[in-house]
Chain A
Amino acid sequence: MTAHADHNSQTENIVYDDQIVKYFTLATFGWGIAALLFGLIAALQLAYWPMNMNMEWITFGRLRPLHTNAAIFAFAGNAIFAGMYYSTQRLLKARLFSDFLSKIHFWGWQFVILCAAVTLPLGYSQSKEYAELEWPIDILIALVWVIFAINFFMTIKNRREKHLYVGIWFYIATIITVAMLHIVNSIEIPISPLKSLPVWGGIQDALVQWWYGHNAVAFFLTTPFLGLMYYFVPKAANRPVYSYRLSIIHFWALVFIYIWAGPHHLLYTSLPDWAQSLGMVFSLMLWAPSWGGMINGLMTLKGAFKELIQNPVIKFFVAALTFYGMATFEGPLLSIKSVSALGHYTDWIVGHVHSGALGWNGMLIMGMMLWMVPRLWKTELYSTKLAENSFWISLTGVLFYYVSMTVAGITQGLMLNGINGEGKLMYPDFVETVTKIVPLYWVRAIGGALFVTGYLIFIYNMYKTIKLAPKEATEPVVVKVTRTGWSEKSHEPHRQLEGMGLAFSVLTFIAVLVGSVIEIYPTLSLHKYVNPAQTTTPFSALEIAGRGVYVAEGCYVCHSQQIRPIAAEVLRYGPASTIEESMWDRPHQWGSKRTGPDLARVGKKYPDMWHFQHMINPRAITPNSIMPNYPWLLEKNTDFLSLRREFSVMKDLGVPYDQDTIANADIVAQKQAKMIAEELEKQGAPKGLEKKQIVALIAYLQALGQKAVTTETAENK
């Protein structure tokens, strides 16, 4: 019993809802296998392009979003819910508010994942990283999250322990901030049952997207896991957290600072300098609270060295915290503009992300499950030896992955930025820089395979553990609890705050709101930053149709459309991108990784036939290319019918299309398609391509960087 238990308080008998924790636990196991296998296949596709198998549903551009969504929302998501529901009930001494809401939360979330697993391979994507899912699923996610929030906050209201433990603070921050991020980033207008346009355009969309994207990492993959860490690490080590004082500073500093750091994904882009600097400065400031959390976690294990040797759960936790420390050291490092100039768009970022996702999240999940599953099923762990093996194999896998991708990224970054004494590019062919790192892609695939192996051993261990559970139906465990802390009269402000669920939640919301408003509000007035003399003409109808193909195929996964004002990039791709060039883009296609070259100015660089041949078989043009073939673009028809609706929505959002253009969008698009198809046919392409997606895509690619300044659009503005 804690020292602050109320005197004369009544003892009550309660039963925790562990059934829902079991559901989420089993879902974690299943989706974890799927997420890791998708990742492994994607890794193999980059090392050996034929692994794309000429199948549109699993080609890299579609598989990569499926992998990231499965890893974040299915694997980590279910694990978060399992751990949160388990620990919250015990920390608050209260059964979850509603069994019914818990079940809706569980099945609703699984349905969301199922929808993602069907729509993403079919090419229904918004092309916003970690937010690719289309509008009906976005609405479903919001509804399920609200149900989760009601269930959680009502449990807080019904609690018997007045004081909210530090783990609960992090859960509160997670629930509030994820809701805010998801809703703001998903404001979109439907144009068909599975397609929509975001209200944000160009620079606005880029900033909102990376405010969301970065904070998806912060508030979906960091704060909930820190909350879990603050509960499960002390429990596994059987000793209280090292410093509660540090946890207070850690919490407030982290939630306040993290939300500002999104623009570090947009350094050297056409985002205003002040926003870039703000993102960089706050990213650097993140070092302190992140390491505060890591130190608090690791120091909790002070004096438990024997446990580290003997107990695999502690091993997983120590590895997780160490990777957390590494990733949160490297993140701010990569946010320094000069480091970003080298590392951004390369595999260094991929290595960094996976040291966090596999090392921090994956290891913490496995450690937590090893501790929790035997207790949930009232049995013993099946095999400590298997747990040890899964740990060492997984750890080796992460290290292979991280080292190979860091080396690959730095190598490619140096090659791409290399300029000789004559001021010319040392490696003018982009593909040279890719072939150089393909061996490292194989090492990464081996690392991924090792992690999958370790995870499968872990799953087998969990399966056998659950099988050891008593077969006969056992009575639910009744826990005796007392109401504690309610009679306390403290004059210390934060101590009071820690006992006030609503006030604490409101302050947390304000903390994340400040940074969000300061960063996003100014860019909502896009006209402030646009030079009226440099506005560009919007895309034609066929180009918009081709843009739809570009988005559906996930081209943004490997190609950026943002040339940075860095000498090597200007030499390689042309003048740096401007705000005006992407001002009509919904969603923006700036991208975040260059497995292939930037495409911002690819228009008219090559003839139509070049693009035609390149899409059918990239190696016919570039012998060592690792890009997949896209033969289905010759078979699938362009969706001309939805163009009028799409144009109408774009006009409502401020794109300067006149009524004639909207009314005749499909007709004009088909005319342009016919002209391109006839030209292609003259050069040897098959007949009847005018309705095919390949023609629309070529029209779009040829328009990139070609939208000249016009006084007409300036006047329309």
Chain B
Amino acid sequence: MKQEGLKFFTDTYLTIIGFLIFFSYFIYVTVNALRTPKKQINEFAHIPFSNGEDHGK
């Protein structure tokens, strides 16, 4: 009975908990990224061309 209970928990609820953690976090990151103004977010795309580089191109 105890084993059955554990099996039911791991096969269903544990998986659902994982899904919930994944989707919550992913939706948060996506919404966050989409809400940030493009100009602001793309600013960092220029880092490889900043003054830390010694070889220009």
| Chain A residues engaging chain B, CB cutoff 8 angstroms | 1-5, 16, 87, 89-93, 160-161, 163, 165-167, 231, 234-235, 238, 240-241, 243-245, 248-249, 252-253, 256-257, 260, 272, 274, 278, 375, 477, 479-482, 484, 492-495, 498, 511, 514-515, 517-518, 521-522, 525, 527-529
Contact = CB atoms under 8 A, between A and B. Distances in A.
Interface in B6-23: 6-7, 10-12, 14-15, 17-18, 21-22
B36 A245 contact: yes
Given A240-B48, A518-B17, A253 B26 contact: yes
A243 B45 CA distance: 8
Given A2-B44, A244-B45, A518-B18, 15 more contacts: A2-B50, A3-B46, A161-B47, A161-B50, A240-B46, A248-B41, A256-B22, A274-B11, A274-B15, A479-B52, A482-B51, A492-B40, A495-B41, A525-B10, A529-B7
Contacts, number: 133
A514 B52 contact: no
Q: Return the 7 tightest CB-CB contacts between A and B, nearest first.
A: A522-B10, A93-B52, A518-B18, A240-B45, A479-B54, A248-B33, A165-B47
B11 A2 contact: no
Contacts of B41: 244-245, 248, 495
A498 B33 CA distance: 12
A481 B46 contact: no
B20 to A, nearest CB: 10
A695 to B, nearest CB: 41
A217 B4 CA distance: 35
B17 A245 contact: no
A90 B53 contact: yes
Given A163-B47, A165-B47, A492-B36, A477 B54 contact: yes
Nearest to B19: A518
Given A256-B26, A514-B22, A521-B10, A90 B33 contact: no
Given A252-B25, A492-B36, A518-B15, A92 B52 contact: yes
Interface of B: 3, 6-7, 10-12, 14-15, 17-18, 21-22, 25-26, 29-30, 32-34, 36, 38, 40-55, 57
B52 A91 contact: yes
B56 to A, nearest CB: 9
Q: Which of B7, B34, B36, B47 has the most CB of A within 10 A?
A: B47
B26 A528 contact: no
Given A241-B45, A484-B50, A494 B32 contact: yes
B33 A1 contact: no
Nearest to B8: A528
B43 A2 contact: yes
Given A245-B38, A256-B22, A528-B6, A238 B57 contact: yes
Contact of A234 (B3, B12, B43, B48): B48
A518 B7 contact: no
Q: Which of A5, A498, A518 has the most CB of B within 10 A?
A: A518
B14 A3 contact: no
A528 B10 contact: yes
Contact of B14 (A493, A518, A529): A518
Contacts of B10: 521-522, 525, 528
B27 to A, nearest CB: 11
14 contacts: A2-B47, A5-B50, A5-B51, A16-B54, A90-B53, A91-B48, A93-B50, A167-B48, A245-B34, A245-B42, A248-B29, A256-B25, A479-B53, A528-B7
Nearest to B51: A1
Contacts of B30: 249
Contacts of B29: 248-249, 252, 494
Contact of B21 (A240, A479, A493, A514): A514
Contacts of A235: 48, 57
A617 B57 CA distance: 60
